[in-house]
Structure 1
């Protein structure tokens, strides 16, 4: 059985026991995510009415940071320059349970 969940504007295919990095979830230790799609053998649950009782439970295992992204913008002949950087923070979660409902 697997599910497709949505977190941080992205969708992930998850199974029980799997670990993955998602965008930071705050200080919660246990998270309940609503699935977008649930597949159990031959049955596929995809509509909101079918997924009303379904849930995916995960626990936060750790936090990490992605790679540093740097950029530089300038405008010609006006001495306008700007250097910027970004480093995304992630939460590592482990899927503990997938309930069909």
Structure 2
């Protein structure tokens, strides 16, 4: 993850104007999430919610930004709120004209809800 210095400075100014001080970008289950203390996040269903592996890619305390190469040693403490939540149903239709071919399937993603207790 490469962030030019200029865009990082602009990013800090924007975040200060929104009142957000301390946050991090973490990798959980192969996807990246922006998290702040006290925030709830939905991540793809974790195989073992008791063993959550997080890699901190970026951390800022409102004044200074630390970017990992590739990760930082900063710790993010997470708590599992619910092990299984289902997302909205997605319906998939297939249809081919003039051949009487029709298929219909559905899909619901499964999520784990996490609470960010502490960053740093």
TM-score computed with the length of structure 1 as normaliser: 0.81
- Aligned partner of 2:65 among 27, 32, 44: 44
Higher relative contact order (CA 8 A, sep 6+): 1
Take 1:29 and 1:16, find their aligned partners in 2: how far apart are those partners? 20
- Aligned partner of 1:58 among 67, 78, 84: 78
Take 2:105 and 2:97, find their aligned partners in 1: how far apart are those partners? 18
The answer to whether residue 118 in structure 2 is matched with residue 97 in structure 1 is yes
Three-state SS of the structure 2 residue aligned to 1:13 is: strand
- Give the 3 Å change call, closer, same or farther, for CA 52–14 of structure 1 in structure 2: closer
Aligned pairs, how many? 98
Contact in 2 for aligned 1:30/1:59 (Cα 8 Å): no
- Give the 3 Å change call, closer, same or farther, for CA 17–28 of structure 1 in structure 2: same
Take 2:86 and 2:35, find their aligned partners in 1: how far apart are those partners? 21
Take 1:46 and 1:52, find their aligned partners in 2: how far apart are those partners? 7
Q: What does 1:79-90 correspond to in 2, within 5 Å?
A: 79-90=100-111
Contact in 2 for aligned 1:31/1:59 (Cα 8 Å): no
Cα deviation for residue 27 of structure 1 reads 2.8
Name the structure where helix makes up a greater proportion of residues.
2
TM-score computed with the length of structure 2 as normaliser: 0.70
Unaligned runs of 5+ in 1: none
The answer to whether residue 52 in structure 2 is matched with residue 34 in structure 1 is no
Contact in 2 for aligned 1:7/1:22 (Cα 8 Å): yes
